Each structure stands twice: as C-alpha cells, then as structure tokens.
C-alpha cells in the first residue's frame, strides 16, 4: 500500500492583497478569512508557518490608461517587499505583475487608437513593473497579463537591469474563467467594459493553452503555471509531463470561496474539503500551489 505524504509547507504560496495606508486589515466579503492588508499590519500579523507569498497591489490614487502607478517605487508592492524581507529574512517573496488594478478601465493592458488591447505597449509597461519589483528585492516576478511576448520582454528588461537572481514565473496556461470573481472584487480590477477572452485562453481549446506554456519556456520562464487549478487538473498533468521546470497551480479565488460557501451552508466540512481539493492538485502533478488556504495549513493537515 502506498499513500502520499502530506505536502510540505514550502510547496504553498499565499496570495496577499495589499492596500495603501496604515493599520488596515479589511476582510474581503466574497473571500472569508482573506483580507486587504496595509504593509505595516501585514508585517505585524503575518501568519506563522507561511513560507512563500505572492503579492498583489492596487492603488487608490490616480488610475490611467496605461497603469503607470504599477511601476511606482513608492507603490504598496514595492514598499512591502523590503518590509517583509527585513522582518522575515527567510520568507520567499513573489509578486504579481499586471496592470489591471492600476488602469482606469480595468484591463490588463492599454488600448490602441482602435480600442483594442495594445499588446506591445502592455509588454513594455509590464517590463517596467517587473524591474521595479526586482529592484525592491522580489525573489520572483509573475506576470499574469497574458500578453504575447511578455516573458521575452521582461527577461530582456531584467537582463538589461543586470538582474540575474530574480525568478521569472509565467502564468503560462491561464484560462478565461468564471472562477476569478472574488479576486476582482478584492482587487477592484474587474474590466469596466468587455471581458478578457481576447488575451486569456479558452477552455475549449486546451492545445493552444498548452502551447502557451511551451512558448513561455522558450522565452525564458523559470517556472510555469496552470490557472485555475481544480477544473484544469488535466492541464496540470500535461504541462508537467512536457517540462522540467517547476509547475505551479493557482488554486484561485472562486475555488476557495466555493468551498467556504458550501461549508457555511452545511454541504461539506470546510477543512476536509479543502484538504481533498489540495491533494487533487498535487496528485495531478503540481510542484507548488498558490492557494488562499496556505495560512490554514495546520487546520487542514492536522492529522
């Protein structure tokens, strides 16, 4: 008889939502147990046992067409990195690199004169954001905008900056999904018009989605990612069998909130259901999971 060991803590990455100001810790209504944190409060109440974080920023200042504020060295992400590193030298700090929480329209890139998403202008801006996070000391940057060529553009910008240690983690196989709703609520990043089907993959076309992981590896990614995780276990397994890079799976907001809501309604037990879903993700072949369950590791894997 063979039984899997429980996955170790270092395979869990906690996504954290940052906000400006001080002393703030605000629960996200659609994500029980998850908060928007100001930098000081996050450092003061950082949950024990969390080994890796993925930081998401936003701004309450001016949002413009290109999302300029995302590259500001005074932004919440750029400030949080050194603050966390100072307080917890062993913590691994990854950052999400995108523009949607900083653009006035909520898309992951700016528009061209015809009103379409301007892929190349987006890549240029994403490279600036990634460099700002690397300068602030991030261990890894994770671009999630799904623009063509974003990995190559960021790799070139990091090289030019002389940055060699920062990992480049690609959200390589990312589907246009209904499972991002609570996240967009948390990040105030829902597109004001249109949707993201123009740049995110279609779940009816898994081969194209898979090819995007292959291309990102060729462009110089250090790790690949499948997102969402639970309805895409087949893709986790396929990506894993085609690469020697780490394969991260993003157990997204909707996947977390569905279990929370079902447990609240009495349809299942919270932690056992979370545990079962996490085992599924690792069984499929994920090397790491990005999950909102990370701070609840002790409750989930207690026996």
Q: Which residues are catalytic?
A: 174, 227
Contacts of ligand PBG in 176-205 (CB under 6 A) = 180, 183-184, 196
| Cβ-based neighbour number of residue 128 at 10 Å | 18
DSSP string, 25-85: EEEETTEEEEEEE-HHHHHHTPPTT--EEEEE---SS--BSS-GGGG-TTSHHHHHHHHHH
Lookup: tokens for 71 = 């590259």
Interface pattern 71-110 for Zn ion (x via CB under 5 A): ---------------------------x-x-------x--
Of residues 35 and 199, the one with the C-beta less far from Zn ion: 199
β-strands 167-168, 31-37: how paired? unpaired
Tell me how many residues contact ligand PBG (CB under 6 A). Answer: 12
- Write down the least CB distance from residue 184 to ligand PBG, Å: 6
Of residues 98 and 123, the one with the C-beta less far from ligand PBG: 98
Quote the longest CA-to-CA distance of the chain.
63
Of residues 183 and 296, the one with the C-beta less far from ligand PBG: 183
Of residues 183 and 293, the one with the C-beta less far from ligand PBG: 183
CB 289 within 8 A of CB 12: yes
| Residue in the structure block whose two tokens are 């991030």 | 138
Query: Which residues are paired to 55 by β-bridges?
Result: 16, 95
Rule CB under 6 A: is residue 212 a binding residue for ligand PBG? no
Contact with ligand PBG (CB under 6 A) among 132, 144, 150, 277? 144
Rule CB under 6 A: is residue 293 a binding residue for ligand PBG? no
Tell me if residue 288 falls in helix, strand or coil.
strand
Partner whose footprint covers residue 96, from ligand PBG, Zn ion, none (CB < 5 to 8 Å by kind): ligand PBG
Lookup: tokens for 45 = 């109440």
Contact with ligand PBG (CB under 6 A) among 69, 93, 96, 123? 96
Residue 219 DSSP one-character state: T
Separation CA 242–CA 3 (nearest Å): 25
Q: What residue ranges bind ligand PBG (CB under 6 A)?
A: 96, 98, 100, 108, 144-145, 180, 183-184, 196, 252-253
Binding residues for Zn ion (CB under 5 A)? 98, 100, 108
């Amino acid at each position: 008889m063979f039984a899997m060991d429980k996955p170790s803590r270092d395979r869990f990455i906690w996504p954290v939502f940052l906000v400006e100001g001080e002393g703030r810790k605000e629960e996200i209504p659609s994500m029980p147990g998850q908060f928007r944190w100001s930098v000081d409060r996050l450092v003061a109440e950082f949950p024990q046992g969390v080994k890796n974080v993925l930081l998401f920023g936003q701004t309450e200042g001016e949002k413009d067409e290109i999302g300029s504020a995302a590259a500001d060295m005074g932004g919440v992400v750029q400030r949080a990195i050194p603050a966390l590193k100072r307080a917890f030298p062993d913590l691994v700090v990854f950052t999400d690199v995108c523009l949607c929480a900083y653009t006035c329209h909520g898309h992951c890139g700016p528009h061209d004169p015809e009103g379409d998403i301007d892929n190349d202008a987006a890549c240029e801006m994403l490279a600036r954001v990634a460099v700002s996070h690397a300068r602030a000391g991030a261990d890894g940057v994770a671009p999630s905008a799904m623009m063509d060529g974003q990995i190559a553009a960021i790799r070139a910008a990091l090289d030019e900056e002389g940055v060699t240690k920062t990992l480049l983690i690609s959200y390589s196989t990312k589907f246009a999904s209904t499972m991002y709703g609570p996240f967009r609520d948390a990040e105030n990043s829902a597109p004001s018009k249109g949707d993201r089907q123009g740049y995110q993959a279609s779940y009816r076309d898994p081969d194209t989605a898979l090819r995007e992981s292959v291309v990102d590896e060729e462009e110089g990614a250090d790790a690949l990612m499948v997102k969402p995780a639970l309805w895409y276990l087949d893709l986790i397994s396929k990506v894993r069998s085609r690469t020697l890079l780490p394969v991260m799976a993003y157990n997204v907001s909707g996947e977390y909130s569905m279990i929370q809501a079902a447990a609240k309604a009495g349809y299942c037990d919270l932690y056992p259901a979370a545990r079962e879903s996490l085992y599924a993700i690792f069984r499929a072949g994920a090397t790491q999971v990005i999950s909102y369950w990370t701070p609840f590791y002790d409750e989930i894997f207690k026996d």
